[in-house]
Amino acid sequence: MESTQNNSFFAESLKLVKQFKVPAFDASAVLESRRKDFEALAAANTTALSGLQALGQKQTEIVSAAITRLQSLVAQHNGATVKPAPAAAAGEATQQASKAWQKALADVRELAETAYRVHADGYAVITRRVAENVEELKALLQPAR
C-alpha cells in the first residue's frame, strides 16, 4: 500500500511540475531520482529493521541458553548426594567458570558480528544510491547535443 501511495505522490508531483516548463530542466528526471532516493531509504530501513530483529532474537536465544545452563548447574548442585572434596569442588567450579566465560565471549562476538552485518547492509544500500545519484547528476549536467 505504501508503494502505491508513494507512486501516486510522485505522479501527482510530476503533473504539477510539468505545468511549469523551465528550459534545460528535466523535472521528470529529478522527480524520478528523488523517488529512487525514497526507495533506497525505505530499503535501508527495512534492512536495518530486519537486522535489529535478528539481533534481538539472538540476544533472546543467548539469555535463554544462559538461564538453561544456570538451571542445570543448580539442579546438579542440589541433586548431588555426595559432596566432593573441597579441592575437587574448587577445580570443578573453576572449570565451569572458565567454560561460562568462554561461552559469554563467543556470544558477545556473535552479537557484534550480527550488529556489524546490520550496519554494513544498511550502509551498502545507501552507498549504492549515492553512487547512482552521482551518475544521474553527471547525466543531467551533460550539455545537450
Length of the chain: 145
Average confidence (pLDDT) over 62-67: 82
Cβ neighbours around 77 below 10 Å, total: 9
Cβ neighbours around 36 below 10 Å, total: 14
**Is 10 in contact with 35 (CB distance < 8 Å)?**
yes
State the pLDDT confidence band at 1, using cuts at 50, 70 and 90.
very low
State the pLDDT confidence band at 69, using cuts at 50, 70 and 90.
confident
Cα 10 from chain centre: 28
Q: Of residues 70 and 81, which shows the higher confidence score?
A: 70
Q: Does the predicted model carry a pTM greater than 0.75?
A: no
Domain ranges of the chain: 2-141
Write out the three cell numbers for 89: 569442588
First to last CA, the chain: 41
Average confidence (pLDDT) over 138-144: 74
Q: What is the pLDDT of residue 25?
A: 63
Does 80 score more than 70 pLDDT?
Answer: no
